[in-house]
């Protein structure tokens, strides 16, 4: 029976992906003019600091450099661009009406 339970657990863990359902989530916590973006996926959970911007920049999200990516996120650096594009796209959908984002150095900038 332990083998069956293990197999069923594995199937439950991949089933949403097989159906094309995203199992990744973004949450936000605010501390006035700054806060955190919380990323959750089946593989990892991590938090990124943000500050509100000025001008066309709505917010600036501090992102780990490629050298620090795995240590901070628990994910391989090969997934960095894909995960940051997911985060940027989701933040734009959640927090702007017709915004965009750019990865600029160690910042993921959200534009109005």
Residues 6+ apart with CB under 8 A from 58: 52, 95, 96, 99, 110, 111, 112
pLDDT, position 23: 84
Range of the domain at 98: 22-111
Q: What is the pTM of this model?
A: 0.80
Mean pLDDT by 10-residue block, N- to C-terminus, for the chain (112 residues)? 60 56 87 96 96 94 98 97 97 95 97 94
Give yes or no for a contact between 33 and 26, defined as CB atoms under 8 angstroms apart: no
Count of structural domains within the chain: 1
* Residue 11 forms part of a structural domain: no
- Which DSSP helix (H) or strand (E) runs through 47? strand 45-52
pLDDT, position 60: 98
* Residue 8 forms part of a structural domain: no
* Residue 2 forms part of a structural domain: no
- Which DSSP helix (H) or strand (E) runs through 108? strand 107-111
* Residue 94 forms part of a structural domain: yes
CB atoms within 10 A of CB 50: 25
């Amino acid at each position: 029976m332990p083998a069956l339970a293990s197999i069923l657990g594995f199937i439950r863990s991949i089933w949403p992906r097989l159906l094309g359902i995203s199992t990744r989530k973004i949450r936000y916590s605010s501390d006035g003019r700054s806060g955190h973006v919380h990323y959750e996926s089946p593989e990892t959970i991590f938090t990124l600091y943000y500050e509100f911007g000025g001008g066309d920049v709505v917010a600036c999200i501090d992102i780990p450099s490629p050298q620090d990516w795995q240590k901070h996120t628990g994910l391989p650096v090969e997934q960095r661009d894909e995960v940051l594009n997911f985060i940027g796209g989701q933040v734009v959908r959640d927090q702007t009406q017709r915004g965009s984002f750019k990865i600029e150095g160690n910042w993921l900038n959200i534009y109005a």
